[in-house]
Amino acid sequence: MTMLFAHISRDPYSSEIMKRISPHVFRWTERMNNRNIVDAEFPDVAPAYPPDDTPPDTLLPVLAHLFSDCAPETIATIDVFNRWLDAHPDLPPGTQIQADPEALPGAHPRLGEIEFVQRGTSFRRQGFASAVYHFQRLMDVINSLDAGDRTKFDALISSVGGEALLSAHFARRIKFEFYKYLLA
């Protein structure tokens, strides 16, 4: 969503290409930014959900694909965050996260280099604090589920191969204040 919306659908030139070549993807980026509107062309239609909150079978391969492609990178990022914390055990709450003391603080503080395998190919890149922070927010929502909903959720995640990602543990919480990632 980030790349498709922020970097393509908002730009006049690239959005025109997107509208022409992939109109359904462009419409999806619009819908993703109108959380209370099912379809911008039908704003009065109320949202409808599958019976018993059961996801459609067609969604399961998409979820499995997301977990197989995204989990290794996120897990590696959480691991590098935890290693950075292990190397600096006495950092007080409120410390700005920036693993490279020589770098200027920026919008995406780096935690260090990560390496992960995706579809049989090894990748190396920087791990960013924002990924850990957003994963933390996701886990907060998951952990707020009541027992019945959590059981259903865990069964779904197990069926699409997401257990490894959702069992990842970050050693400390992060807070985001005044456009900075800080240790909680």
**Percentage helix, strand, coil, to 5, in the chain?**
50, 15, 35
Q: Tell me the pLDDT tens digit for each residue of 18-50.
A: 999 999 888 888 877 776 666 667 777 777 778
Q: Tell me the pLDDT tens digit for each residue of 78-131.
A: 999 999 999 999 999 999 998 777 777 677 888 999 999 999 999 999 999 999
The pLDDT value given to residue 130? 92
The pLDDT value given to residue 27? 84
Cβ-based neighbours of 99, under 8 Å, separated by 6 or more: 80, 84, 109, 110, 111, 112
Q: pTM of the predicted model, to two decimals?
A: 0.76
* DSSP code of residue 173: -
C-beta of residue 114 within 8 angstroms of C-beta of residue 104: no
C-beta of residue 48 within 8 angstroms of C-beta of residue 39: no
Residue of 83, 174, 89, 96 lying closest to 135 (CA atoms): 174
